[in-house]
């Protein structure tokens, strides 16, 4: 594994142990997951025990210890979105990506999750792709949007 980018991220924070969460977030954003080799390098460079790093990496939902797709899809299935057809949107997303919530496709293109609220209920049904909120979705719109991602 090429650790050049990981070293650069650690250097950006001067190897400060207090920046652990931000460093892990940057690595997660760069690689879309936290490989063990990356965590070992962070542990060594920051002087933070692996046990603490593992605890942090498993505590926050933003981190993944398995490879994630380049695009992370969150489909809201909360009450407000549910009554406006979230299940039909989810069905289309599942059909197009070929994955179920909690899965990542073999090409590492998409990861799919369901969530209970994205905080913009008036726009339901809502899904989020790479942290961009997409609201008032009809199933056909969701399908068109997904086709635009590489």
Task: Give the binding-site size for ligand FES (rule: CB under 6 A).
Answer: 11
Provide the β-strand partners of residue 129.
Answer: 73, 132
134 sits in the region (left: phi over 0; alpha: psi -120 to 50; else beta) called: beta
Q: If binding is defined by CB under 6 A, does position 120 make contact with ligand FES? A: yes
Q: Phi, psi (5° rounding) for residue 95?
A: -65, -45
Q: Is 31 in the site for ligand FES (CB under 6 A)?
A: no
Footprint of ligand FES on 71-110 (CB under 6 A): 76, 78-81
Count the neighbouring beta carbons within 10 Å of the beta carbon of residue 1: 10
User: Shortest distance, CB of residue 140 to ligand FES, whole angstroms?
Assistant: 19
Nearer to ligand FES, 108 or 121 (CB): 121
Angle at 33 between CA 50 and CA 16, to 5 degrees: 45
Rounded-to-integer distance, Cα 16 and Cα 49, Å? 14
Give the CB-nearest residue to ligand FES.
78
Nearest CB to ligand FES, comparing residues 81 and 129: 81
Report the interface residues with ligand FES, using CB under 6 A.
76, 78-81, 117-118, 120-121, 124, 126
């Amino acid at each position: 594994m090429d650790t050049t980018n990981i070293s650069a991220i650690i250097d950006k924070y001067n190897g400060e142990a207090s920046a652990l969460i931000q460093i892990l977030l940057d690595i997660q954003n760069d690689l879309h997951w936290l490989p063990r080799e990356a965590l070992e390098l962070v542990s060594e460079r920051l002087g933070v025990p692996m046990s603490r790093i593992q605890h942090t990496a498993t505590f926050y939902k933003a981190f993944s210890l398995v490879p994630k797709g380049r695009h992370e899809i969150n489909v809201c299935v909360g009450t407000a979105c549910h009554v406006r057809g979230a299940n039909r949107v989810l069905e289309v997303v599942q059909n197009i990506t070929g994955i179920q919530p909690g899965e990542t496709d073999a090409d590492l293109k998409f990861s799919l999750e369901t969530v209970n609220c994205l905080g913009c209920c008036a726009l339901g049904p809502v899904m989020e792709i790479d942290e961009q909120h997409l609201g008032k979705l009809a199933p056909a719109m969701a399908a068109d949007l997904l086709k635009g991602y590489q």
